[in-house]
Amino acid sequence: MATAVDKPKVLIVGAGLGGLVLGALLEKADVPYVIFERTSTVKPLGSAIAVGSNLLPLFIQLGIYDEFVALSRDVESCTVSREDKGTLVHLDFSPKSELSGYSQYIVARPLLYDLLLRQVPSDKIQFNKRILTIKEEDDMVTIQAADNSVFEGDILVGADGAYSAVRQRLYERLKREGKLPKSDQEELPFSCTCLVGQTEPMDYESTFPEFMVPTPPFYNTLGEKEPFTYVLFATAQSTVTWMVIHHLDAKSSKAAEEQRFRGSENSEWGPHAAQAMCDETRHFPLPIGAKKMTMGDIYDLTPKEKISKVMLEEKVFDTWYSGRTVLLGDACHKLDPAGGHGAVTSMHDALAIANLIYALPSNTTKEIEKSFAEYQAERRPPAVEAFKASEAMATFMNRGFIGSISLFVLKHIPRFLWKAFLKGTIRQRPTCGFLPEIEDRKGTVPADVSPSAEKARAVYKKRQSSAPL
């Protein structure tokens, strides 16, 4: 069993949600690590994230549950409207609380990010580190950044998003060796682009009285004549977080759109493209408000620096690791946001990797690669399931025949079938095996077994029993 002396040094590329959760967990485990972020600072961008039983047990273990709840707002439902035609469907998520024992919350993505960032000491994150090369030799992995700085470690984690530099370097090597599946050589496709942002705090009573109720729904509006969906969320800070999704006629790729964001290595366009999409969609009418309002009113209440345009890629890769290198989150599975699974699956990946690193019996390449195989075996099936669920949820946004059928089914689904569907969404409630166990919330649906958590728990108990009094 690995001792305090031979704990692996972990190099984490990417300071997104998954990278931060992994860092926070390794900090608790006293495992040495460094996070490398390609930008000079992480911009507070994004809309909102729905968080419930899938993550709250972990937040309790990390000691951030109370602070998270204070930043969040209860949510129990959402409405789906057709532009200028009123509510089509009202989806009730309240049974989740009974099933899992945990309430459901909406939190502004930047606030959740800042909360997780505070769990990682500032000296453990290095900014302006764009990774160019990766090399494995002599039981060590070495990375070199664009500024020519070099770092060595035992494990390299690619948590650097849909256009992961770690994945690209890993796949280049595997392709040369004839070990990369054809499916992993294909372009990362996307069928939507998305505009996201968050307004300044406002007086809900005079602007959006619908948000004054204790648990306001979030509002989805489907474009009537144009291929857009736009969504509004209320926050605990009296802001409105929002996103506008543009459904493209056909799947595209980063290469096909390259001229629109030349020089960028991630999926974000610059401010001009974001402003152009704002101008294009200003006239969209809002389904709520004290007076007749449009998305233009929302844009005017949003600071320009908090508006961004991104692509919504969709793919689950087949290769998640090789040797001492492993991928997590968007680097190995990018999901349509319709199902709300992207951030959750990324953090679940980080949790599984942390559990398995803690339980490593030694730092040999053989043992590390064996643990990575266990990680992929545990995490890829739920990632595929989440991918399919996100695709299914996205169908009701389709303006055609399929979308109409999906909306009809959602509107008339029997409650027992809807409850059965919700049961499937809350079964995954993994915890950290090397942190003290938490009290069961007495939900009616037991959590699925997490092999990585059980493995870490067994090692944790063994170490606790053998620790000197």
Structural domain boundaries in the chain: 10-73+101-186+315-393+429-466, 189-313
CA-CA distance, 166 to 14, in Å (whole number)?
10
Residues in CB range of 77: below 8 A, 6 or more apart: 90, 91, 92, 93, 94, 215, 217
| pLDDT tens series, the chain, 469 aa | 444 447 899 999 999 999 999 999 999 999 999 999 999 887 767 889 999 999 999 999 999 999 999 999 999 999 988 887 778 889 899 999 999 999 999 999 999 999 999 999 999 999 999 999 999 988 999 999 999 999 999 999 999 999 999 999 999 999 999 999 999 998 888 778 889 999 999 999 999 999 999 999 999 998 888 889 999 999 999 999 999 999 887 665 555 454 444 444 444 567 888 999 999 999 999 999 999 999 999 999 999 989 999 888 889 999 999 999 999 999 999 987 655 677 899 999 999 999 999 999 999 999 999 999 999 999 999 999 888 877 766 665 665 656 677 777 777 889 999 899 889 888 999 999 999 998 877 788 889 999 999 999 999 999 988 777 5
Query: What pTM value is reported for the model?
Result: 0.92
pLDDT at 397: 60
pLDDT at 372: 98
pLDDT at 1: 45
Is residue 198 within 8 A of residue 108, CB to CB? The reply is yes
Instruction: Domain 10-73+101-186+315-393+429-466: give its CATH code.
Output: 3.50.50.60
pLDDT at 12: 98
pLDDT at 261: 45
pLDDT at 262: 42
Is residue 22 within 8 A of residue 371, CB to CB? The reply is no
Strands 218-222 and 77-82 come out as parallel
Is residue 228 within 8 A of residue 246, CB to CB? The reply is yes
CA-CA distance, 201 to 122, in Å (whole number)?
29
CA-CA distance, 228 to 80, in Å (whole number)?
13
pLDDT at 263: 42
Q: Based on the number of CB atoms within 10 Å of its own CB, is 341 exposed (0-12), middle (13-18) or buried (19 or more)?
A: buried
Residues in CB range of 336: below 8 A, 6 or more apart: 192, 312, 314, 387, 390, 391, 393, 394
Is residue 210 within 8 A of residue 290, CB to CB? The reply is no
Quick one: tokens of 130? 């764009």
Is residue 25 within 8 A of residue 356, CB to CB? The reply is no
Residue keyed to tokens 């999409």 = 277
Is residue 119 within 8 A of residue 20, CB to CB? The reply is yes
pLDDT at 132: 96
